């Protein structure tokens, strides 16, 4: 391959790898530090800023542009390659602030080196008098970036994972430098030695990746891991000890089998008892089918639609022996219809009203989930209900995260004529809140005769107590959560940070 063809190819690969590094670091930072919008915004900003600095500094390297470009590829490939493994290690051993600074430092160096790539190759083209193809060559850099953004969510993240992806693309970067060195430079062996050393280092991390990841995951979850899967939407981890199976999504615990029945019985049966004759039920989230297990205990139920964005959760609910045991095979019950779709999109497109809608959704840890607690989302839920329908949503911890709980309550009050909060104590989570919304503005009427007899936790007395809040827990004034202003995300992150500090200091 001659210089006329090789340099455009180098621009394409360079553009592809650099965007992959930026996406990998942004996603890793989101997993470990939360708030995807904030992480992506800051990291992209630092990345572009450092690219500008790199482009400026490249003019001092124009004497030997190809040689410096090859060295840049070696450095960029090695730093980009180790970026995710390094962040995994730092997450275990350093504070969130140090981890955040480390993310920005790594992306700054990557952006700096990336900013040098195209100018150096441009200088090389000028040296070779290949000027008429300059615009075509530069366009390949953007094409490489486009392809990177397309393959990242559909191929790289679900099938390769963050850890191995950074190492693989790091080696691609370095091998590009080695090929250019052997093809275009006279002094081949000496300069390529650095590249071979870097590739060997990344290969070691690939070969021992399974062991490293196992050690790091064990330090994070502190319990034996029985399932560890990365999907296009989330990282799913299950841990198991004697008598306790735990499910984590993106490191956030979703349930503990030791006490999940308290949560799911409270979430499901209380709103069902507030409907005269519930037949059609919609569950938003709850792909593990623990909520549908509880709904099936009501004889009047004719159909249950479970909507979850991640089909892997449905697969596990039907095939994983641990989940099947806990959900009592609810996922394969003929009354249960599993729908792989985004909850927001489903409510927008659905035309068949439900008697009861149960929002069993994760806490609003990022922008995508925060919209599922917005006024617009609740308006669509209301539209999807029968006139006598009942809507309920889980609302987080009511004491340590009272502002989030209050924000959900206040936002629901702007939509429904009658809103009723209640709570229950769940040892694995704390004092957990739920909020009911109804079309009709009347007092709660609960049909206790319809309460299933085989429940582990709920009884009439417990239900009555669930609507009673202690004096130190009240609904405070907050802004409404909307699509345009997802204030609940700020409330959640602020309270989570304070809560974390309190627990690290040994106080509650």
Active site residues: 360
Q: How many CB atoms lie within 10 A of CB 19?
A: 22
Nearest to 212 by CA among 283, 164, 262: 164
How long is the chain? 508
Whole-angstrom Cα distance, residue 173 to residue 193? Answer: 15
Backbone angles phi, psi at 82, to 5 degrees: -90, 0
User: What is the rounded CA–CA span in Å between residue 128 and residue 132?
Assistant: 11
| DSSP labels, 286-347 | -TT-HHHHHHTTSTT--EEEEEES-HHHHHHHHH-HHHHHHHTTGGG-TTEEEEES-HHHHH
Cα angle vertex 341, ends 432, 413, to 5°?
40
Per DSSP, helices labelled H in 94-161 are: 96-127, 134-151
Closest alpha carbon to 410 in 484, 469, 487, 296: 487
Identify the helix (H) or strand (E) that includes residue 355. strand 354-360
CA gap 96, 41 in Å, rounded: 18
SS3 content of the chain, % helix, strand, coil (to 5): 60, 15, 25
Say how far apart CA 335 and CA 331 lie, in whole Å: 9
Place of tokens 């029945």: 261
Half-sphere exposure of 331 (CA within 13 A, CB side): 24
Of 335, 342, 336, whose CA–CA distance to 310 is shortest? 342
CB 451 within 8 A of CB 459: yes
- Written as six digits, the tokens of 482 are 């909307």
């Amino acid at each position: 391959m001659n210089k006329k063809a090789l340099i455009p190819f180098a621009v394409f690969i360079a553009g592809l790898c650099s965007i992959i590094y930026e996406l990998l670091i942004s996603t890793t930072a989101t997993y470990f530090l939360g708030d995807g919008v904030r992480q992506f915004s800051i990291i992209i900003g630092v990345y572009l800023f450092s690219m500008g600095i790199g482009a400026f500094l490249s003019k001092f390297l124009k004497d030997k542009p190809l040689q410096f470009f090859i060295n840049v590829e070696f450095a960029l490939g090695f730093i980009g390659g180790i970026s995710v493994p390094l962040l995994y290690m730092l997450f275990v051993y350093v504070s969130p602030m140090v981890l955040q600074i480390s993310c920005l430092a790594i992306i700054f160096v990557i952006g700096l080196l990336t900013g040098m790539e195209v100018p150096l190759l441009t200088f090389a083209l000028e040296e070779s008098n290949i000027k008429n193809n300059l615009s075509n060559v530069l366009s390949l850099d953007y094409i490489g970036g486009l392809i990177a953004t397309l393959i990242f969510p559909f191929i790289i993240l679900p099938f390769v994972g963050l850890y191995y992806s950074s190492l693989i693309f790091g080696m691609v970067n370095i091998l590009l430098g080695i090929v250019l060195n052997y093809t275009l430079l006279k002094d081949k062996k000496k300069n390529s030695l650095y590249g071979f050393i870097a590739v060997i280092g990344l290969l070691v991390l690939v070969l021992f990746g399974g062991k490293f990841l196992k050690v790091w995951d064990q330090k994070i979850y502190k319990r034996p891991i029985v399932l560890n899967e990365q999907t296009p939407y989330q990282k799913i981890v299950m841990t198991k000890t004697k008598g306790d199976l735990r499910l984590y999504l993106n490191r956030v615990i979703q349930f503990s089998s030791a006490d999940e029945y308290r949560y799911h019985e409270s979430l499901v049966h209380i709103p069902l008892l507030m409907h005269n004759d519930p037949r059609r039920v919609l569950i938003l989230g709850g792909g593990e089918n623990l909520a549908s297990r509880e709904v099936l205990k009501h004889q009047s139920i004719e159909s249950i639609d479970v909507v979850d964005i991640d089909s892997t959760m449905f697969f596990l609910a039907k095939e994983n022996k641990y989940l099947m045991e806990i959900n009592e095979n609810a996922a394969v019950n003929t009354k249960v219809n599993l729908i792989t779709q985004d909850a927001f999109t489903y409510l927008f497109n659905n035309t068949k009203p439900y008697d009861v809608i149960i929002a069993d959704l994760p806490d609003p840890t990022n922008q995508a989930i925060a919209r599922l607690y917005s006024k617009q989302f609740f308006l669509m839920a209301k539209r999807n209900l029968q006139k006598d329908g009942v809507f309920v949503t889980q609302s987080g911890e009511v004491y340590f995260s009272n502002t989030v709980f209050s924000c959900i309550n206040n936002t629901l009050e702007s939509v429904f004529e009658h809103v009723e909060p209640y709570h229950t104590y769940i040892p694995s989570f704390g004092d957990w809140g739920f909020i009911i919304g109804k079309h009709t503005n009347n007092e709660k009427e609960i049909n206790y005769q319809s309460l299933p007899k085989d429940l582990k936790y709920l009884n009439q007395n417990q239900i009555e107590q669930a609507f009673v809040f202690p004096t130190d827990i009240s609904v405070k004034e907050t802004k409404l959560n909307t699509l345009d202003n997802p204030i609940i995300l700020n409330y959640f992150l602020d309270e989570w940070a304070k809560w974390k500090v309190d627990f690290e200091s040994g106080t509650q």
